[in-house]
Amino acid sequence: MREIPGPPTEDEIEEGRRLFAGSCEFFWGAQTLEQLPEMRSAEIAFAGRSNVGKSSIINALTNRRSLARASSEPGRTKQLNFFDLNGRLTLVDMPGYGFAKAAKSVKEDWQKTMFSYLRGRPSLARVVLLIDGRVGIKKSDRETAELLDKAAVVFQVVLTKADYLSASALEKRIKEVEEVMASHAAAFPRIISTSSTTGQGIAELRAMMARFAEPSSLRK
* Topology (CATH level 3) of domain 10-210: Rossmann fold (3.40.50)
Positive or negative, the CA dihedral 48, 46, 149, 185 is negative
Note down pLDDT in tens along the chain; length 220 residues: 567 788 999 999 999 999 999 999 999 998 888 899 999 999 999 999 988 999 999 999 998 876 765 443 444 457 899 999 999 999 999 988 876 555 666 666 667 778 889 998 999 999 999 999 999 999 999 999 999 999 999 999 999 999 999 999 999 999 999 999 999 999 999 999 999 999 999 999 999 999 999 997 644 4
**Strands of 43-48's sheet in order across:** 24-30, 80-85, 89-93, 43-48, 124-132, 155-160, 192-193
Taking residue 176's Cβ as centre, other Cβ atoms within 10 Å add up to 12
Alpha carbon distance 30, 148 (integer Å): 20
| Residue 129 φ/ψ, nearest 5 degrees | -95, 110
Asked if 214 and 125 count as a contact pair (C-beta separation under 8 A), the reply is: no
Q: Which of 114, 115, 144 is nearest to 131 (CA)?
A: 144
Its pTM stands at 0.90
**pLDDT for position 72:** 39
